[in-house]
């Protein structure tokens, strides 16, 4: 009996992985920019937003994975099957805009890290980031899903170490951290940053992606014990991955709150690096920059993976990865070449991502609540209510953002 239990545990651990690939989307350079800006400007005020967003993201990621395992189709493919061709094209356009915003954040973040570490110009750094992410995807294509998952999980570990290393030198006051868990805002800029944090955490492309990742890894299991086991393992996978991502995101904000708040510096990733260098030393600063570089490289490859899946599901055609990569890479490189402020561009890209959330979450909740499609794995009514509440909340927040942008 004990031997059977041990064997089952080994099998379960082996099956973990897809959620950790999806979780890379939650610790990408856009998260760094949004969290650093929030911590530098408002201290611990918006820590609660990270916690709430992370919980909501975990719920959404599990529903996406469940849809893939039960139906045998990715979320984009399932949506596309229920739309006419014109509707599918319109839906793909908005998803493609989200993919462009995603790639902009990831490539710019990688470029900033390469400038900090090696002094490369931003445009050259962006090109290097794009090329390396394409090489990671080539490894996935040739060596398989499991090797890709292990590489991405390794990079996630580098990211976690890079952004959490400073706590070994300087820790935040517990009282201030607890105060940051109390939901509140402080002016319109804090609302804008809250939306950026939300857009950087509940990532539309990660919602689309997870449904396909589980299919690539586990296939389409028939109804029965194996599907039940895979759904149980997937819940554990999501909880563990989102716990890591949430901890890293909180660490980003706390590092900025400790080292950047009340300092007379420009609120930027470069400013965060300089402040950490001055207060905690060069070794911790290099670890911070290394975490940012790993974030840019890993998230860029995962974003391109998601973009290909979205295109295949909605357009029903497979596009060569190089072509697909160039479609989303060129706008990011153009932003770098035109000299836009990279940190501000990163934050605004996350706001653009928040506008894509309802288009991913609303269909997901609707589909996973459809008993004809999901059978016995249909959402519990409470999950359905929470899911609709999340989608409505994000939609209302976007309306507020439009008003703030126009008013500003």
Convert the pLDDT of each residue in 136-147 to its tens digit. Answer: 888 877 877 778
8 Å CB contact between 143 and 66: no
Query: pLDDT value at position 123?
Result: 93
Question: For the residues 56-70, what does the mean pLDDT come to?
Answer: 93
Question: For the residues 137-164, what does the mean pLDDT come to?
Answer: 85
Query: pLDDT value at position 114?
Result: 94
Say whether pLDDT at 401 is over 70: no
Q: In angstroms, how far is the first alpha carbon of the chain from the final one? A: 66
Say whether pLDDT at 5 is over 50: no
Query: pLDDT value at position 2?
Result: 37
Question: For the residues 190-216, what does the mean pLDDT come to?
Answer: 84
Query: pLDDT value at position 319?
Result: 73
Q: Is 160 helix (H, G, I), strand (E, B) or coil?
A: helix
How does residue 235 score in pLDDT terms, banded at 50, 70 and 90? very high
Q: Can you tell me the distance from the alpha carbon of 283 to that of 388, in angstroms, rounded to the nearest whole number?
A: 45
Range from 74-78, 298-302, 398-402 carrying the lowest mean pLDDT: 398-402
Say whether pLDDT at 64 is over 80: yes
- 11-48 confidence digits (pLDDT tens): 555 567 788 888 888 888 878 888 888 998 899 999 99
Contacts of 126 (CB under 8 A, 6+ apart): 107, 108, 110, 111, 329, 332, 333, 336
More confident residue, 293 or 148: 293
Query: pLDDT value at position 10?
Result: 46
Question: What is the pTM for the complete model shown?
Answer: 0.87
Using alpha carbons only, how large is the chain's radius of gyration in Å? 20
Query: pLDDT value at position 300?
Result: 86
- 292-305 confidence digits (pLDDT tens): 999 989 888 888 88
Say whether pLDDT at 173 is over 80: yes
Output the CA–CA distances (angstroms, integers) from residue 125 to 109, 155, 285, 336, in the order listed.
Answer: 9, 18, 19, 10
Contacts of 140 (CB under 8 A, 6+ apart): 147, 148, 301, 305
Q: What number of helices (H) and strands (E) belong to the chain?
A: 18, 0
CATH number at 14-407: 1.20.1740.10
Query: pLDDT value at position 181?
Result: 92
Q: In the chain, what is the greatest distance between 2 CA atoms, to the nearest angstrom? A: 67
DSSP 222: P
8 Å CB contact between 70 and 377: yes
Domain spans in the chain, listed from the N-terminal domain onward: 14-407
Range from 17-26, 117-126, 289-298, 399-408 carrying the lowest mean pLDDT: 399-408
Mean pLDDT computed over every residue of the chain: 84
8 Å CB contact between 354 and 192: no
Query: pLDDT value at position 262?
Result: 66
More confident residue, 30 or 126: 126
Using the structure block, give the residue that is written with the tokens 């991405």.
152
Q: Can you tell me the distance from the alpha carbon of 362 to that of 369, in angstroms, rounded to the nearest whole number?
A: 11
Query: pLDDT value at position 4?
Result: 42
Q: Can you tell me the distance from the alpha carbon of 219 to that of 15, in angstroms, rounded to the nearest whole number?
A: 12
More confident residue, 167 or 107: 107
Query: pLDDT value at position 3?
Result: 39
Q: For residue 365, count CB atoms less than 10 angstroms from its CB and return exposed for 0-12, middle for 13-18, buried for 19 or more.
A: buried
How does residue 67 score in pLDDT terms, banded at 50, 70 and 90? very high
Sign of CA dihedral 336, 99, 56, 165: negative
Closest Cα partner for 245 from 64, 54, 63?
54
Count of residues making up the chain: 408
């Amino acid at each position: 009996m004990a031997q059977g239990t041990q064997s089952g545990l080994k099998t379960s651990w082996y099956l973990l992985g897809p959620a950790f690939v999806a979780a890379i989307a939650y610790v990408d350079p856009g998260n760094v920019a949004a969290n650093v800006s929030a911590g530098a400007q408002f201290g611990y005020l918006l820590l609660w937003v990270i916690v709430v967003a992370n919980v909501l993201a975990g719920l959404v990621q599990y529903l996406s994975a469940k849809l893939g395992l039960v139906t045998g189709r990715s979320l984009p493919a399932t949506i596309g099957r229920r739309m006419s061709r014109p509707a599918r094209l319109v839906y793909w356009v908005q998803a493609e805009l989200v993919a462009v915003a995603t790639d902009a954040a990831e490539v710019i973040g990688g470029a900033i890290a390469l400038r900090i570490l090696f002094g490369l110009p931003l445009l050259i750094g962006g090109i290097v980031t794009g090329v390396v992410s394409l090489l990671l995807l080539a490894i996935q294509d040739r060596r398989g899903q499991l090797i890709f998952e292990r590489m991405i999980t390794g990079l996630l570990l580098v990211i976690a170490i890079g952004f959490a290393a400073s706590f070994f030198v300087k820790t935040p006051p517990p009282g201030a951290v607890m105060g940051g868990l109390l939901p509140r805002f402080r002016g319109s800029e804090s609302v804008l940053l809250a939306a950026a944090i939300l857009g950087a955490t509940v990532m539309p492309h990660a919602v689309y992606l997870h449904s396909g990742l589980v299919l690539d890894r586990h296939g389409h299991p028939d109804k029965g014990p194996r599907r039940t086991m895979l759904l149980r393992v997937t819940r554990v996978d999501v909880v563990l991955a989102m716990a890591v991502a949430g901890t890293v995101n909180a660490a980003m904000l706390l590092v900025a709150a400790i080292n950047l708040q009340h300092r007379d510096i420009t609120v930027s990733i470069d400013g965060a690096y300089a402040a950490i260098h001055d207060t905690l030393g060069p070794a911790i600063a290099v670890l911070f920059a290394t975490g940012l570089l790993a974030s840019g490289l890993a998230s860029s490859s995962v974003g391109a993976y998601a973009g290909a899946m979205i295109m295949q599901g909605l357009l029903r055609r497979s596009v060569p990865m190089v072509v697909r990569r160039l479609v989303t890479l060129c706008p990011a490189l153009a932003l770098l070449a035109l000299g836009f402020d990279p940190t501000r561009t990163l934050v605004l890209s996350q706001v653009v991502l928040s506008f894509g959330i309802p288009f991913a979450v609303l269909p997901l909740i609707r589909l996973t609540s459809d008993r004809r499609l999901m059978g016995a794995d249909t959402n519990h009514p409470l999950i359905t209510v929470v899911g609709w509440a999340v989608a409505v909340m994000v939609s209302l927040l976007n309306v507020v953002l439009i008003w703030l942008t126009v008013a500003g």
